[in-house]
Structure 1
Amino acid sequence: MQPEANPSAPPAPRGKGTARKVLMGVLAVVLVAALGTGGWLLWGDGSADDHGSGTARPTQAQGRLDVRETVEKRPASTLGEMAFRFSLDDMKPGEHNEMPGMWATDKILAKGIKRTVAGFRIGTDADVGDEAWKTRLGGPICGYTRHVTGDNRTAVLFRESDQEDAYCNHVAFLDLDDGHQVWAHDFPVSAAGPSQDTPDSADTQDRPSVTLTHGTVVVTWGGGTVAYDMDRGTKRWNTTVAGRCQDMGAAGGRALVIREQCLSADETPVDVYWQRNTFKVREVDPATGRALWSYSAPKGIRTLSVPSTDPAVVAVSSGEIGLTELISLDGEGKHRATLSLGNDTYVGECFDGDYLVIDYCPTIAVGADQAFLRSEDQQEKQISNWVIGFDLATGNTTTKFDSGPGALLYPLRMSGDQLLALRLSNDHVAPNTLVSLDPRTGKETPYFYFDVPIEADTLTTPDVNDVVVQNGRIFFGARAAIGPGADGNKWVYLVLGIGSVAEKP
């Protein structure tokens, strides 16, 4: 399973034209158009001098085995241009391909596509066949982590074969710079539910998950957890669970937190299955597997995710739809504060779905002392919303950032002590903006302004697509490739990248 690399091969000519020529041609057109009322994929005044520095203070130094926490620098120009595109123009109506996972480095945009992880050079207009590298796995990708190490590596899970009933029981550690598979291993499986028997097929298997923390790749598989050394792939430790509890998901980053799901032995009839479930989380020493603390969530919780491991924050749902509270924990796993999301006032999304990624909460950002969420959309004269901070010590609201009329504001991630957010225009006249928000002062600093073609508009919402900000660029990626509909438009956007005109790959 070595990568199929073609680093020197130019993009194949097709209807869209040669990659670099298309990108530069688009830029030449929009530079002229931007002098008027606006332009496709490029907005701004070209100057960063009159908006304040917005410079984030650096965090502590990170090593290559740490999970990456990039502090973004404000570009020299607020003009945004297309930095990358991956699209298809030959999909059939009704065709559906899973595309789990998207990662970026300074040179490469990598995307999971069925059983392959493909890397594309940033600065290209890419189609299938234009990969800088691609790594074909033994079967379809069945799990991934959003985390990337300081030396640009990540992990995915894959099935043992293409057979429909093949177990999801392999993990691979990949280098995103060149596609090299550093190592791969298989791991145990267990039957769905509290039983640890061998399942009949993938349909009756407990869902596994994978995450990264310092020096360690961690897989949960229902019946327990197994951890591997990043460099050598050797097993560092493993644990098993007993009784009616299972390890169902791990959250990584600065620390390692494992979610435990327990099924009550009470056979009293209930309306829905989840009323018998309870959840625990425990922080684990990544070097030894020793539990450092454990927290039991209140009964009646439908779902539990972990948007942050340090500081520890869990997101829970005790209602019919959506998250209802964030719960902050102290350094010993004890309840610190409950951050109530109100009666449909604030919104946060956490996804595990078909891929068990319990720390993927794309519109919740957690800093050292605050968590940031967006409000529900306001539908008065024009659509609008705001982003609000919650104090992790008290649960009280703090700084508020308004989207302004005709736009929606989405928190994305922390960049040092600054909050990166995306403002999406609702009218395609005003530009979209990647901004930095200062929680201490309430000041907003634009990174760059941009627009997107109408065909790619559906890619930009973070609650239904992958959004990655890395090395001065923002990437929007589809989680699945879906063939064209009745409109006959066969051009399907899969990934779109935007960067400042001042930042070249």
Structure 2
Amino acid sequence: MTQPPPPPPNQPPDPQGGFGAPTPPPPQQPEPGYGYPQQPPTQPDQGYGYPAQPPAPEPGYGYPQQQPPAYGYPTAPQQPQQQPYGGYQQPQQPPAYGYPTQPQQPQYGGYAQPTPPPAPGGGKKLSAQLQIVIAAVVAVVLIVGVGIWYANSGGDGGDEAKNTGGTSQGSTGGGSTGGNGLGGGGKEKVPADTKAKLAFQVTEPKVSDITDVSGSWITDKAFVKPGVNSLVGYDPDKGGVLWTLPLTGQVCGASRHITADNKAPILFEATKRVAPRYYQPCTEVGVVDLNTGKLLWSTSVTGGNAGDQKARFNEVTLSGATVAAGGTDGGAAFDLANGNPRWKPQANDQNCYDMGYGGGEALVAVRKCGQYDSPSVTIQPINPMTGAPLSQFKMPTGVKYASVVSTKPLVVATDIGDSAGDGSGITDFFSIDEKSGKLKAKITADPDQYAARCRPTEVESCSKALVGNGRLYVPTEEHEGSTGEYGDETNEIIAFDLTTGRTVPEKADAGDKYTFVPLRMDGGNLIVYKEPPYGQGGRIVSVDGGTMKETLLLENPANKSLDSPESSFSLNGAELLYRDGRFFISATLVSKPRENASPNDIKEYLIASFAVAR
């Protein structure tokens, strides 16, 4: 079995914020990740968009498949019909900054646009006067219909939907909805005073080389952050160290999801990094009690491309009682309670392996097969106890990687043909029926227009894209505000319907000089950070997922100092968490101090915390 070459010495971590050293190219003999081999396809490639039936009794591909119908609104008659893409019609591309396109005869809350009656006299042309009268009647009906639809499009939801997978603290949010209606149902409440103060700050630790410190969690008792060869729990109000968990090596992976009782899966290295390489393979999987700092268990596995060596992983996640880790050596899963393996990496003749998993309310594998230069990528909702596929969706030709934005409902992002060109890793989103494997909608997201980001080589790495209320919420790129002055950039949050793929009429506007950065879902609401202009404090707002109206939850103090703890972080290299009146910004990379450092240099912080009065 051919082993992949080791990473080159002194290789820094991926600048996009990944864990550990850069991921090597996928091996030629990876494994299935489910504990048993899969059979090669028995029929020619059907192309993406066709659901593959789940295996019975053994997994395999090539089952007869049926093409689902086209989706979306009918194309206006004055425009040419769009060509089907993989058996599905693409929704019309929204215009600049995501303003919705007006389709022909959409249904507004059950009210269809009326059609003019036939001309009297057996098809004779209508008189000019009669045409004017008909047009006026049509306009009145439209106004009434649209008004009723808008009146029923927002409002607070009922009870908050339950999240059986625990709590999601990552940037992508989850698939929760806000009760019976759109929006509402969130846990975050408006405090008596939204004015926040700097609660505490922690300076960067001293390191000998670039060190990845990605990962952060909030509990009722602690704010937890990786240190150097350790995890550290801080008092969430004052910043004092509550506990320190020493580890054998550096943390190299952290789950976005935690259990209801605050347990989190992590990855870490088996030994400490030393000169000159400052690199160790990411092989150890463990679960930590975030309240006490106790390592409940840790383990490693062999197999797959790793052979008799320990398998290396890039990322780890959680769904229910299963911890799942993936990487180029293959995927593995473990019992949350004791670390016993549920499945391990295995080599196979089809060069198939699990790149990684999306967790939360369900467990979804992104599986790659074939050669490195011409792979086949499939999305597989799987049984978290056995790894058996429940359904399967094949991504289109030209896709080498895919990222899971949400597992339930299932939404996947990818960069088709590596054409994004802006480092975002996204050209399209795919809304997939997780039960049948059928495509519901393909949403084209022009990288020049939308600002969501995914790290292509990791499955659960997307930021700024949120899923809830049957919608996909993404921010637009920054653009000039209404005043046209320097520094007047702003943006919006646009929503796409996951069934039709079309933009919805409602949108949220950040306002001049502020920029929206979506953080997570809160029931049917969006928790969003508003990046401020120079000298002003940032804000945390709750955006109703139906009406898209915002409510202020927290506002940081204005600070024009170069050492401002808030403005010292680059948002593309920081993690932002908000919970119950507390806002945390933390770094993902720590660098070696400059040799000629000056006392006047801008300070670099590991953590900055702001809080309202409690």
Taking structure 2 as the reference length, what is the TM-score of the superposition? 0.64
SS in 2 for 1:291: coil
How far the C-alpha of 1:496 sits from its partner, in A, is: 1.1
How far the C-alpha of 1:283 sits from its partner, in A, is: 0.7
Cα displacement string for residues 354-379 of structure 1 (whole angstroms, at most 9, x for unaligned residues): xx4x2232211111311111111103
How far the C-alpha of 1:178 sits from its partner, in A, is: 0.9
Residue in 2 that maps onto 1:325:
428
Residue in 2 that maps onto 1:17:
none
Residue in 1 that maps onto 2:455:
351
Whether the 8 Å contact between 2:313 and 2:325 is mirrored in structure 1 is no
Kindly tell me: are residues 172 and 441 of structure 1, through their superposed partners in 2, closer, same or farther at Cα, counting changes over 3 Å? same
Residue in 2 that maps onto 1:474:
583
SS in 2 for 1:303: coil
Give ranges in structure 2 of 5+ residues lacking alignment: 1-154, 169-173, 175-185
Does 1:83 pair with 2:199? yes
Structure holding more strand per residue: 1
Give ranges in structure 1 of 5+ residues lacking alignment: 1-53, 265-272
Q: What is the alpha-carbon distance in structure 2 between the residues aligned to residue 190 and residue 490 of structure 1?
A: 47
Residue in 1 that maps onto 2:462:
361
Kindly tell me: are residues 116 and 452 of structure 1, through their superposed partners in 2, closer, same or farther at Cα, counting changes over 3 Å? farther
Q: Structure 1 residue aligned with 2:166, among 66, 70, 73?
A: 66
Kindly tell me: are residues 341 and 301 of structure 1, through their superposed partners in 2, closer, same or farther at Cα, counting changes over 3 Å? same
Kindly tell me: are residues 221 and 441 of structure 1, through their superposed partners in 2, closer, same or farther at Cα, counting changes over 3 Å? closer
SS in 1 for 2:391: strand
Kindly tell me: are residues 477 and 346 of structure 1, through their superposed partners in 2, closer, same or farther at Cα, counting changes over 3 Å? same
Does 1:371 pair with 2:469? no
Residue in 1 that maps onto 2:377:
279
Q: Structure 1 residue aligned with 2:518, among 411, 418, 443?
A: 411
Q: Structure 1 residue aligned with 2:368, among 261, 264, 272?
A: 261
Does 1:171 pair with 2:274? no
Kindly tell me: are residues 190 and 84 of structure 1, through their superposed partners in 2, closer, same or farther at Cα, counting changes over 3 Å? farther
Taking structure 1 as the reference length, what is the TM-score of the superposition? 0.76
Whether the 8 Å contact between 1:190 and 1:223 is mirrored in structure 2 is yes
Does 1:424 pair with 2:531? yes
Q: What is the alpha-carbon distance in structure 1 between the residues aligned to residue 213 and residue 291 of structure 2?
A: 19
Q: What is the alpha-carbon distance in structure 1 between the residues aligned to residue 392 and residue 511 of structure 2?
A: 42
How far the C-alpha of 1:241 sits from its partner, in A, is: 5.4
Does 1:498 pair with 2:603? no
Whether the 8 Å contact between 2:212 and 2:252 is mirrored in structure 1 is no
Highest CA radius of gyration, 1 or 2?
2
Kindly tell me: are residues 227 and 207 of structure 1, through their superposed partners in 2, closer, same or farther at Cα, counting changes over 3 Å? closer
Cα displacement string for residues 138-166 of structure 1 (whole angstroms, at most 9, x for unaligned residues): 22222221211111110111122125564
Q: What is the alpha-carbon distance in structure 1 between the residues aligned to residue 213 and residue 447 of structure 2?
A: 34
Residue in 2 that maps onto 1:384:
490
Cα displacement string for residues 454-477 of structure 1 (whole angstroms, at most 9, x for unaligned residues): 432445554321111223322111
Q: What is the alpha-carbon distance in structure 1 between the residues aligned to residue 385 and residue 539 of structure 2?
A: 41
Residue in 1 that maps onto 2:76:
none
Please list, as runs of the form range in 1=range in 2, the aligned pairs for 1:14-413 lying within 5 A after superposition: 57-61=158-162, 66-68=166-168, 71-88=187-204, 91=206, 96-126=210-240, 131-162=241-272, 166-188=280-302, 190-191=304-305, 197=307, 207-238=313-344, 240=346, 242=348, 243-264=350-371, 275-318=373-416, 319=419, 320-321=421-422, 322=424, 323-331=426-434, 332-342=436-446, 344-351=448-455, 356=458, 358-379=459-480, 380-381=484-485, 382-398=488-504, 399-413=506-520
How far the C-alpha of 1:414 sits from its partner, in A, is: 0.7
Residue in 1 that maps onto 2:550:
444
Whether the 8 Å contact between 1:189 and 1:206 is mirrored in structure 2 is no
Whether the 8 Å contact between 1:100 and 1:113 is mirrored in structure 2 is no
Q: What is the alpha-carbon distance in structure 2 between the residues aligned to residue 343 and residue 96 of structure 1?
A: 29
SS in 1 for 2:528: strand
Whether the 8 Å contact between 1:348 and 1:363 is mirrored in structure 2 is yes
Residue in 1 that maps onto 2:44:
none
Q: How many residues align?
A: 421
Kindly tell me: are residues 402 and 140 of structure 1, through their superposed partners in 2, closer, same or farther at Cα, counting changes over 3 Å? same
The alignment-based identity, stated in percent, is 27
How far the C-alpha of 1:263 sits from its partner, in A, is: 3.3
